[in-house]
Amino acid sequence: MCGIIGVIQGRSQLVNPLELVGRSFRDLEHRGQHGAGIAVTGNDFWMEKGVGRATVVFDPERPEYQRLAKVPKPRMAVGHARYATQGKPSTENMQPHVMDSFCGEVCCLSNGDLPDYCPLRQQMEAAGAVFKSRNDAEYILRRVFQLSGGQPRKMVDAVKQLMLELRGAYSAIIMTKDIMIVFRDPWGIRPLVHGVLGDSPIFASETCTIKGLGADVVGTVRPGEIVIATPAGIQDRFQVVRAERRSHCILETIYLHRPDSKFEGVEAGAFRYRCGKKLNEEHPVPEAEFVSSVPRSGDMAAIGYAAQARQDFRITLIHKPSVGRQFIGEPESKDPREKFSAMEGAFEHRKRGVWVDDSVIKGGTWARLAKMIREAGAKEVHLRVASPPNCNPCRTGIHTPDRDKLWVNRFIEGDKPPDLIRGAKDLHLDSLEYLSIEGLKSAFQNPDNGEWESDPDQWCTHCLDGRPIFSEIEPVTS
């Protein structure tokens, strides 16, 4: 669950790839705020990394950016905004990772996780490899190096072999001083988008990042595909491996994507709005005097819920602008006032409300938030969640590896559905309900024209219903 970008100058040499990567972090760092890195190639190779938000680490006034800005004639650049899953937030675990080849440095950056990272790493260490980080993107780079013998001309074939070996989530870029190799796992778990600015190819994790640079979205890097690009443009793209069934991460669209981004043809904001409408159909609160949201990822679903209910939507919580995004897996603040403030005036005349959130993962935030809302003047606090209960761990980039840390599992016995009456009491709520898995899948259909924007069967819902993430894969012969 990170953000990556790669920019190539193009034949016209009208853009500075370093400048575009630096600007892109404004529209990328919502995917990761633990650290960032940039690598640039020109006549030589330069890289800088740092802990913290990307827009801070690479502020034009900071020495990290100024050192990179001195690179003469930059031709290609890559950037990474990290959310730490494999390996703690430290400089050595930041991406890109770099190794020396016969023809200069080679770097790699990736979004996603490899569930088998530990045994894979142990195999390489047993063969003599010495790792410098605890991050799985370093394994990808070292394995490509091993398969290619460190020879850049053999790296494309090495990536092909790697893609046939790995079972995991990776949207990745490998860059030498002459070439950029862009590839994505055959299940398409994490996003990877292709854009263009003039004749400059751009690859990024989200469409909002490409559009934020004034570039056009061309399409996606398809699951199981390799794209080869150089300063002369796209040289080749081909399918290496095909999965029996794709597994696009549903939580990307529920929670992680910015509302104006599209993932596999589905705009996140519109999808959340439809989830909110369906949530009201399934779990209305007729006595509520207003509908509100937990900003910011709950906003669109709450607006949809209010529209379907024909109830007023009111802003009752303010997300403090100076506070960054709190990610799944991070320690939760004991005081919700560090992140939110409540508008007391919203409760002067209306005191029974329903709040809509995108998900409830660990539960701690809501137990304290409900108390804060009541202290501001609310008499009834009803919570509606615009996704099904998150009850299964994920090890492909969403940081929920432990089942016992998922809040809803406290209220599940055997094969029974969760006891939401007990759950509501635990969170100090008057009532609690979730969107059904059927309701979630129905949100892929556009009600205006009846067309399905995406096939729900091609999305991974493992964290919600335990469906297997990985299907069988086969090589594509041409």
CATH of the domain at 85: 3.60.20.10
**pLDDT tens per residue across all 478 residues of the chain:** 799 999 999 999 999 999 999 999 999 999 999 999 999 998 889 999 999 999 999 999 999 999 999 888 899 999 999 988 877 888 899 999 999 987 789 999 999 999 999 999 999 999 999 999 999 999 999 999 999 988 888 999 999 999 999 999 999 999 999 999 999 999 999 999 999 999 999 999 999 999 999 999 999 999 999 999 999 999 999 999 999 999 999 999 999 999 999 999 999 999 999 999 999 999 999 999 999 999 988 999 999 999 999 999 999 999 887 666 665 555 555 677 888 999 999 999 999 999 999 999 988 889 899 999 999 999 999 999 999 999 999 999 887 878 998 999 999 999 899 999 999 999 999 999 999 999 999 999 999 999 999 999 999 999 999 999 999 999 998 6
> According to the model, what pLDDT value does residue 327 have?
55
**Number of domains the chain is built from:** 2
User: Would residue 473 count as lying in a domain?
Assistant: no
> Domain limits at 54?
3-243
Contact criterion met (CB below 8 Å) for 348 and 377: yes
169 Cβ contact partners less than 8 Å away, ≥ 6 residues apart: 111, 112, 113, 114, 185, 187, 189, 190, 249, 396, 397
Q: DSSP letters along 275-325, please? A: HHHHHHHHS--TT-SEEEE-TTTTHHHHHHHHHHHT--B---EEE-TTS-P
Catalytic residue among 2, 107, 208, 391: 2
User: Would residue 468 count as lying in a domain?
Assistant: no
Q: Would residue 460 show up in a list of annotated catalytic residues for this protein?
A: no
Residues 233 and 297 in one domain: no
Residues 311 and 389 in one domain: yes
Residues 239 and 293 in one domain: no
User: Would residue 249 count as lying in a domain?
Assistant: no
User: Would residue 309 count as lying in a domain?
Assistant: yes
The CATH code of the domain that includes 289 is: 3.40.50.2020
> According to the model, what pLDDT value does residue 330 have?
52
